Structure 1
């Protein structure tokens, strides 16, 4: 079954691509979760309108991220935490902690943008 991906799907494809997937996967998972639309004339026209809106939103997000990055430049932040005798910290530094530090320094960021490894 040919479908239009409404969002990025792991091991399938990226948003906006037209992909061939098994009928069962489409009917039982992708369509009920609103992740895809079946390819037909009406859905192609709908997707063309939707794509313009999504591209505009993506550009705004990228511009916002670039603006924050340029404002931050080489800014340094100090995080004070309690440590043990051997220098190990008690607890952890979370995304919420980082978001609060950025907010206190004039940067409005969502805690979900942080990625820890």
Structure 2
């Protein structure tokens, strides 16, 4: 038996059911699996669930909680960040430097002093 906030509007043999929250829109659940919370607070998500939502076993996830006591896992996007060292910044400056002759031509074309 499934318990929790709201009422179950209907259960089909396929495992797809719709749960109506008190002040929420209907939420369609595509798959239900029973998992156990380990002693260290860890949960193993079954491979069938991961495949059904297109996740691999090493995907970063955001963990959210709701007022109803639900725990939501959502895919997170992680972008690599490079912290630039002083030599790396100097390298950027060298690569982006405008040669003096070109800078003088541009300033002359704009009617400004070099």
TM-score by length of 2: 0.22
Bigger relative CO (Cα 8 Å, ≥ 6 apart)? 1
Q: Pick the structure with greater CA Rg.
A: 2
**Bigger strand share:** 2
**Bigger helix share:** 1
